């Protein structure tokens, strides 16, 4: 069902990272206004992951604990709610560890279709705010995954080592270089931490971000967030390739979940890579790519197809064949997207794409605020940088603008009952 080692959360796991519930701080975050009563509510909350499921499910939920975090090679879900967080001023290492423990505890529950804590949306005392905000009550897990990442600024910000982890910073974890055509807005870029939430129901995805934001109270604050839909990337061989908002199939040549060799080569950080705490993890690049929809829509079909290097109907390379025929690069325009992005044009470089379409309404000129929220996982950020530099002459650049960007190290999955990032703080 999922890429992770099956691992039941152990109620009495003895390791240092194990948690039996939300921290006092996490509960305090939930309970501002509730005061002491709320703490009393939390006191009895055990790590009862099997209790009070939200409802029936068509499919078994994805495990939160495992060798790798879920949400990377998990079959891509219908909806995304991506959230970037900054740590609050005057927080210390203990605050950060506690936050990661609380997030992991809550994520291990909600991914199983449970409320964020054992007292739930209506439990505890009527004189306290409920631990869980409640809008996902009655809904199954809907394939929910929660994937947590660490940004460059978590390790060092303005020269400061806020959390005593500067020496553990991966050398490759630094702000992405500027690319031609970047038009990045700080309000949709970067962040100390990120959480990628995917689910087949948008309410379940929003519920996750909302509750994890709430639990972070006093420790981290939502910096920016992005909703998306439509799984524009095919990540398993039985999935139909979805279409992006240019109307073309996207992600045809993606790395697939069952291609272990490619995953080991291009997605997972190896034990032999540095630093050791990141082994089994990955790097996540996010790019908010606005599409100039109205301009694109006025381009003649032949030019649209030349730009992509594929035909629009079938998705076949213009060099011939069907969708899954390997393109003959010499048969494509030298500036076509497929040719420039192809591994053969980039020394074999591949990445795992996991993007989503987004539509935010329209701007004051009546133009759709829409595009691709590009997400990719790779063993080394250099893979993305290589490809993005290759795309600097892409014909498609006339129709897109990169308005947001971020890079995060994605720790390996947490051991049962432990928390994401535990090896970094060991």
Binders of a second copy among 75-94, rule CB under 8 A?
A: 81
**According to the binding rule CB under 8 A, does residue 294 interact with a second copy?**
yes
**According to the binding rule CB under 8 A, does residue 145 interact with a second copy?**
no
**According to the binding rule CB under 8 A, does residue 20 interact with a second copy?**
no
Pairing mode, strands 79-87 and 193-199: antiparallel
Q: Which listed residue (225, 376, 386, 388) binds a second copy by CB under 8 A? A: 225
**According to the binding rule CB under 8 A, does residue 39 interact with a second copy?**
no
Q: Interaction with a second copy in 297-326: which residues (CB under 8 A)?
A: 297-302, 304-305, 311-313
Span of 29-37, 154-162, 173-181, 405-413 interacting with a second copy by CB under 8 A? 29-37
Q: Which listed residue (111, 128, 168, 254) binds a second copy by CB under 8 A? A: 128
**According to the binding rule CB under 8 A, does residue 196 interact with a second copy?**
no
**According to the binding rule CB under 8 A, does residue 56 interact with a second copy?**
no
- Under 8 Å between Cβ of 403 and 288: yes
Q: Which listed residue (126, 159, 178, 347) binds a second copy by CB under 8 A? A: 126
DSSP-assigned beta bridge partners for residue 282: 410
**According to the binding rule CB under 8 A, does residue 11 interact with a second copy?**
no
Q: How many helices (H) and strands (E) does the chain have?
A: 11, 9
Q: Taking each helix axis from N to C terminus, what angle separates 202-215 and 24-31, rounded to the nearest 10 degrees?
A: 110
Distances from the Cα of 365 to the Cαs of 294, 295, 359, 361, 362, in angstroms?
11, 13, 15, 11, 8
**According to the binding rule CB under 8 A, does residue 142 interact with a second copy?**
no
DSSP annotation of 414 reads P
Q: Interaction with a second copy in 343-362: which residues (CB under 8 A)?
A: 357, 359-362
- Under 8 Å between Cβ of 79 and 200: yes
DSSP annotation of 398 reads G
| Cα 283–Cα 286–Cα 287 angle in degrees, nearest 5 | 145
Span of 67-75, 101-109, 225-233, 373-381 interacting with a second copy by CB under 8 A? 225-233
Q: Which listed residue (166, 213, 239, 390) binds a second copy by CB under 8 A? A: 213
Span of 4-12, 69-77, 116-124, 167-175 interacting with a second copy by CB under 8 A? 116-124
| Burial (Cβ within 10 Å: 0-12, 13-18, ≥19) of residue 298 | exposed
Residue 398's CB: how many other CB atoms inside 10 A?
12
Q: Which listed residue (9, 21, 26, 34) binds a second copy by CB under 8 A? A: 34
Shortest Cβ 282–a second copy spacing (Å): 25
């Amino acid at each position: 069902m999922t890429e992770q080692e099956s691992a039941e959360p152990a109620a009495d796991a003895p390791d240092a990272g194990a948690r039996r519930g939300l921290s006092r701080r996490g509960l305090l975050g939930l309970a501002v206004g509730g005061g002491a009563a709320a703490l009393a509510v939390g006191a009895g909350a055990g790590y009862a992951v099997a209790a009070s499921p939200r409802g029936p499910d068509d499919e078994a939920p994805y495990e939160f604990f495992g060798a790798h975090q879920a949400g990377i090679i998990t079959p891509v879900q219908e909806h995304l709610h991506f959230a970037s967080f900054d740590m609050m001023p005057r927080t210390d290492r203990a605050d950060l560890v506690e936050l990661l423990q609380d997030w992991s505890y809550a994520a291990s529950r909600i991914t199983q279709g449970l409320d964020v804590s054992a007292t739930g949306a209506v439990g505890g005392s009527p004189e306290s705010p409920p631990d869980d905000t409640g809008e996902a009550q009655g809904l199954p897990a809907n394939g929910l995954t929660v994937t947590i990442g660490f940004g460059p600024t978590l390790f060092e910000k303005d020269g400061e080592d806020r959390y005593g982890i500067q020496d553990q910073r991966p050398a490759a974890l630094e702000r992405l270089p500027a690319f031609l055509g970047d038009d990045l807005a700080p309000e949709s870029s970067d962040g100390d931490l990120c959480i990628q939430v995917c689910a087949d129901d948008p309410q379940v995805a929003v519920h996750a971000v909302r509750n994890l934001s709430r639990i972070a109270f006093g420790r981290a604050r939502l910096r920016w967030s992005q909703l998306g839909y439509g799984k524009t990337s095919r990540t398993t061989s039985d999935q139909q390739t979805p279409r992006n908002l240019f109307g073309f199939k996207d992600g045809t040549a993606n790395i697939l979940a069952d291609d272990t060799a490619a995953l080991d080569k291009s997605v997972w950080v190896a034990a032999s890579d540095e630093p050791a705490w990141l082994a089994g993890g990955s790097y996540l690049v996010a790019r908010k790519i606005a599409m100039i929809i109205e301009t694109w829509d006025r381009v003649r079909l032949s030019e649209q197809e030349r730009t992509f290097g594929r035909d629009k109907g079938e998705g076949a390379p213009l060099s011939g064949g069907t969708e899954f025929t390997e393109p003959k690069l010499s048969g494509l325009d030298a500036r076509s997207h497929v040719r420039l992005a192809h591994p053969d044009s980039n020394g074999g470089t591949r990445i795992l794409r996991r993007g989503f379409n987004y539509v935010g309404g329209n701007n004051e000129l009546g133009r759709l605020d829409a595009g691709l929220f590009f997400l990719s996982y790779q063993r080394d950020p250099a893979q993305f940088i290589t490809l993005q530099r290759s795309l600097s002459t892409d014909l498609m650049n006339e129709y897109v603008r990169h308005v947001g960007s971020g890079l995060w190290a994605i720790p390996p999955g947490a051991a049962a009952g432990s928390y994401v990032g535990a090896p970094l703080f060991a």
